[in-house]
Structure 1
Amino acid sequence: MCPLVIVKSFGSGKSEEIIKNILKVTDQQEEQLEFKFDSYNLRAYKCDLITKYYETQVALFGFDEDLTSIPSDILKNIEAALFYFDSDDRSFLSKVDALCNFVKCNKIQVAALITRNISEDDLHGITYGELKKLCKFCFDIVDLNDQNDLELDGCGEYAEVLDLLKNYIWSNVKHSQHINDASHESSSDIDGIEEQLNSFEELLKKVQCFKETSKTLSREEVLNNAEKLAELFVNIINDD
């Protein structure tokens, strides 16, 4: 049983459409999976996640019913949650607290609120600041229209969503072969790996500090700091 990723839409975007857009970013063919539980037959889409440090497979499934109706045997296998909403629908704010409780109660480690065109003021829709305040660090917030890479027939905007999935160590992770073969590498190669691990540890400390201080920052300051952290992460990943 591979980890499950629930995808639910509270707006105009359909859950299955979101899943297919994520798969297009990975350049994977759509392959459906079926899981049989005691009280439910679940259909999902296979998604291969391959990074420099591990490779694994997760299953993305759309769910259009109320979250309280998810059977318990499915809930315990959900490791990530992706929720889409329309940024001009302020009524969505009333749902955020319940979504936070859903994530916390089920110990979901990866959670994102996905939308387009976050508003600059509360007269025209939901602002980044008020949404972030309600999220209580339960969710990453992804504005699809903020993405720079809009290739892949417009699906490149889901690249940040894919990165969120890749940055988590899933319960069924298989390490990449070149990491497993580290014992056969020269001492200089091993030193390089240790240096990268130290760099990751330092980066994690900076991320934790950023989480604490970001409460008082403006949206622009948060984005600037997040960009710097992302650059550090990319530099570590690309440092062979």
Structure 2
Amino acid sequence: MRFPYLHKAAPEGLATARSQRWDPAEVVGILLETENKGRDEATRCNHRRLAQLPSGKTFESWKETESSIPVPTQHALMTLEWVTRAENLAVAGPSGTGKNHLAEALANKAIDQGMKVALFTLKSLTAHPGRATVDNTVSRGVAKITRCDLIVVDDIGMLPSGQAAAEAFYRVIDAAYERRSVVVTSNLHPSGFDSIMPKTLATTAVDRLLHHAHIVLTEGSSLRLTQATSGKGVVPLNQPG
């Protein structure tokens, strides 16, 4: 058996054990705990790499008092209990009201708790099954996505979506239905997705998406624009003397 983290920690750990006369069982327990922690951290790093989260946003930089989402709702979402129940989350509202930050922070927290996460824009989601059509493995491509515990589809509605995008979105929503949690963010309420996608596919996908979903609506002015106009969007330049 391979115990890379145990082997790395063993020399220092055994030296400490000898000097402090630890019980042998205690030494073994500490070294095995070190191995488990190392493996858990390696797993999280691998999950984060595979998720390809775009900007590293977490709840450490989230300002709950600046969000229009009720604080109790924020805290309930942060527990991720809804993910363990394979429930979905739809976050809709104007640009700059924290939708993307919330979705990515939830994804990072899920990874920290040992979950697998996939994050897509509608464009990248379209390309993913699209690549699989070359060798007729679309179902396998979708199955790979839905092996993740949490699937995020970000920024739906920023641009019109054609047949291919609607089909990719439907395939993932259908495959995840009652099995995995899906988060969607959009400047449109999901009920309006038929204005940017072919109506039949949009209606069917949204029907499955919202059946077991929490709907969170954001409102207010763009936080990004507010930061920009107040000079908080950049680090101040050092002015020459």
Q: State whether TM-score is above 0.5.
A: no
Using the size of structure 2 for normalisation, the TM-score is 0.31
State the structure with bigger RCO (CA 8 A, min sep 6), 1 or 2. Answer: 2
Determine which structure has more spread, i.e. the larger CA radius of gyration.
2
Q: Higher strand fraction: Structure 1 or Structure 2?
A: 1
Q: Higher helix fraction: Structure 1 or Structure 2?
A: 2
